[in-house]
Structure 1
Amino acid sequence: MPKLSRKIELFTESVIARMSRIAEASGAINLAEGFPDFPPPQAMCDRLSQVAQEGPHQYSMDPGAANLRQAMADCRRQFTGQTIDPEKEVVVTCGGTEALMAAMMTLVDPGDKVILFSPFYEAYSTDALLCGAEPIYVSLREPDYTFDGDELEAAFKQRPKVIFLCNPSNPCGKVFSRDELMVISGLAEKYDTFVVIDEVYEHILYEPTEYTYFSTLPGMYGRTLCCGSLSKTYSITGWRLGYIFAPPEITEAIKKLHVYLTISAPSPLQEAAITGLRFGPDYYQGLRAMYTRKRDFVMKRLDDIGIGHNVPQGAFYMLVDIGGYGYDDDEAFCRDLAEKVGVALVPASTFFIEPVHHLARLQFAVRDETLEKAMERLENISILKK
């Protein structure tokens, strides 16, 4: 038989997916894979029920249904103050995953360099490798996961085509300050680099943190691609509705690619999602309040148990310190934690280019009773100590 594509050799199976399988097989509480275990807002579910009877059920326009793109543009203006042309500056994708891959494929040629901050969501490096790009990694340093300006400029001096930025960050929950973003924007302009922002967690923030939209910084709109998804904001990860906001000339190129990747996102779900995009400020304030309560609960219980952790500024992840249990292999620790303690986390080495084996990622986007049960189980974590 002929050999498979060499691209397959560039990456391994998703560690997040593997930990979810281990969780299911062992009956562990899944705090590994980042999706809520609670339903979407009732108004969106009610609208989806109507759409199931009324339609649409066929393909939408390739870049997304016109009314959804308009709703996305209106919602974007509500938070950024920018007026977005829904015809020329919005593309609806099949989840944020396609948005990121489409952005990478549109901007990058084989041999181009791409800056990635470490830790990073595992898809970023995979997307770069699949496009034939060379990643340049810049460290985000504990405990606040900030970067060194000189190290970042040294990366820019290698003339990358793109810098990828997850804000708020998966896996550590860092939110880049305006000052940090101004450093990045200055270097992007100086070295003529595109900026791709993954903003999927933009509405999950913790006081007193303030969020700055990168595309609103001086001179940045023309070189910025804003990728995101409705998945986390509205607890609809299975609906697979992502998007890209970009200048017209870039969006036009993305559209040509998108039609051959997935044609269009699911039409009934596009229609139902408009209901969520029309929610007022109360919804987003409630979202933040809910996740703040969950974050604070988990941090207090971890403190009581004696498990170290960082303090996330956004998103619904934190990194916990597993270095005191005698394991050299964080994946082996997480496997034992799932099978013997009954809680599944992600070994953080999958997110770092550095040799980091003392951390694991915990996600807290689950029901309060699920978190309570998980924390009760973690009280037995000392049985793993070697």
Structure 2
Amino acid sequence: MHAPTLPPSRLPQVGTTIFTVMSALAQQHGAINLGQGFPDFECDPALIDAVNAAMRRGANQYPPMAGLPELRQAVAAKMQSLYGHAYDWQHEITITAGATQAILTAVLSVVQPGDEVIVLEPCYDSYVPNILLAGGIPVYVPLTSPSFSPDVDAIQRAVTKRTRAIIINSPHNPSGRVWTAEQMRSLQALLDGTDILVISDEVYEHMVYDGALHQSAARFEGLAARSIVVSSFGKTFHVTGWKVGYVAAPAALMHEFRKVHQFNVFTVNTPMQAGLAAYLQDPQPYLALSAFYQRKRDRFRAGLA
């Protein structure tokens, strides 16, 4: 029997993600896996109880496509409290199947074939394949060692008439670099008067140390007006296997995002959403996360000294 000839690969230069390879090697050799962004400790039992309670009361069918209203309301309240921007939970917040799906959906919703997307490298490994799947062209701006600090002048030099978007990530994976308020304002000034959009990957928003503040794109009016802000409950509450995240964006951008989202995953796990909505009523778990990780960081650094 003749096997069919496969069509050309959509991603001919892309192999298995490095995280799959590294995690398999760590398991094979009994090594501590410091390469992938998941914790090695359990989440709060209260969150498990909240999800279990949602299951038992019957929250097991499809939720609304954009997410449960109570969770979207909780996300909007959290973002306004932390960053001062009032998102309309009905039209500007969407619950996603983790941040990776959110980023892919964001790219597919705004990037047309031939559009350029600025990527600051090194970067999370899904960014470039996402751009390629949309038919876009990645334009690389290097972040140089040892500071890995974003160079807004270099970003400006990368802008052309075909630039559609820039993907930023703070705190940065893999370097840990945190954008300052001054750098965010410089980016805001650079983009003012253009149609360039921002996809702001903020999954590590609660992992900033030594009194620093996370400078969300939502803090800056000019950036918030052009940004798709992505975050993740998995990173915040130590439940990466649940794959639940969220996106905040102006209504016009969110309208396009949801067009793609509905035909990508349509919607997200109902009892997880219900449990997270209840758990978010207390801000202390996420407000305490920076101090929690800073103690671990300081202990690790002391051990290396």
What's the TM-score once normalised by structure 1's chain length? 0.75
Matched with 1:357 is none
Q: CA deviation at 1:191?
A: 3.6
Report whether the alignment pairs 1:268 with 2:275.
Answer: no
Q: 2:66 aligns with which of 63, 69, 79?
A: 63
Contact 2:232/2:245, CA 8 A, preserved across alignment? yes
Q: CA deviation at 1:216?
A: 2.6
Alignment CA distance shift 1:66-1:83 (3 Å): same
Matched with 1:339 is none
- SS of residue paired to 1:265: coil
Alignment CA distance shift 1:276-1:58 (3 Å): same
One-letter amino acid of the counterpart of residue 95, structure 2: V
Residue ranges of structure 1 left out of the alignment (5+ in a row): 305-386
Q: 1:217 aligns with which of 220, 230, 237?
A: 220
Contact 2:11/2:129, CA 8 A, preserved across alignment? no
Matched with 1:279 is 282
- In 1, Cα distance between equivalents of 2:75 and 2:10: 35
Q: Determine which structure has more spread, i.e. the larger CA radius of gyration.
A: 1
Report whether the alignment pairs 1:154 with 2:138.
Answer: no
Q: CA deviation at 1:67?
A: 1.3
Q: CA deviation at 1:105?
A: 0.3
One-letter amino acid of the counterpart of residue 301, structure 1: G
- In 1, Cα distance between equivalents of 2:16 and 2:44: 33
Contact 1:114/1:164, CA 8 A, preserved across alignment? yes
- SS of residue paired to 2:288: helix
Q: CA deviation at 1:215?
A: 2.6
Matched with 1:50 is 53
Contact 2:196/2:226, CA 8 A, preserved across alignment? yes
Matched with 1:226 is 229
Alignment of 1:295-306 (within 5 A): 295-302=297-304, 304=305
- SS of residue paired to 1:200: coil
Report whether the alignment pairs 1:37 with 2:40.
Answer: yes
Q: 2:177 aligns with which of 174, 183, 186?
A: 174
Q: 2:199 aligns with which of 183, 196, 199?
A: 196
Aligned CA-pair RMSD: 1.5
- In 2, Cα distance between equivalents of 1:14 and 1:121: 10
Matched with 2:249 is 246
Contact 1:234/1:276, CA 8 A, preserved across alignment? no
- SS of residue paired to 2:119: strand
- SS of residue paired to 1:30: coil
For each residue in 1:284-332, what CA deviation from the matched residue of structure 2 results, as whole angstroms up to 9, or x when unmatched?
A: 3421111001111222222x3xxxxxxxxxxxxxxxxxxxxxxxxxxxx
- In 2, Cα distance between equivalents of 1:112 and 1:217: 25
Q: CA deviation at 1:175?
A: 0.5
Q: 1:77 aligns with which of 57, 75, 80?
A: 80
Contact 1:43/1:275, CA 8 A, preserved across alignment? no
Contact 1:201/1:232, CA 8 A, preserved across alignment? yes
**Which deviates the most, 211-220 or 163-172?**
211-220
For each residue in 1:149-175, what CA deviation from the matched residue of structure 2 results, as whole angstroms up to 9, or x when unmatched?
A: 332211013541000001111111110
Contact 2:52/2:271, CA 8 A, preserved across alignment? no
Matched with 2:210 is 207
For each residue in 1:217-261, what CA deviation from the matched residue of structure 2 results, as whole angstroms up to 9, or x when unmatched?
A: 242222111011111111111111111101111111111111110
What's the TM-score once normalised by structure 2's chain length? 0.94
- In 2, Cα distance between equivalents of 1:78 and 1:217: 14
Report whether the alignment pairs 1:24 with 2:27.
Answer: yes
One-letter amino acid of the counterpart of residue 30, structure 2: G
Q: 2:125 aligns with which of 110, 122, 127?
A: 122
One-letter amino acid of the counterpart of residue 84, structure 1: Y
- In 2, Cα distance between equivalents of 1:75 and 1:149: 29
Report whether the alignment pairs 1:141 with 2:130.
Answer: no
- SS of residue paired to 2:263: helix
- SS of residue paired to 1:170: coil
Q: CA deviation at 1:56?
A: 0.8
- In 2, Cα distance between equivalents of 1:103 and 1:285: 27
Give aligned pairs, total: 302
- SS of residue paired to 1:137: strand
Matched with 1:259 is 262
**Which deviates the most, 146-155 or 35-44?**
146-155
- In 2, Cα distance between equivalents of 1:149 and 1:245: 24
- SS of residue paired to 1:290: helix
Alignment of 1:346-385 (within 5 A): none
Matched with 2:92 is 89
Residue ranges of structure 2 left out of the alignment (5+ in a row): none
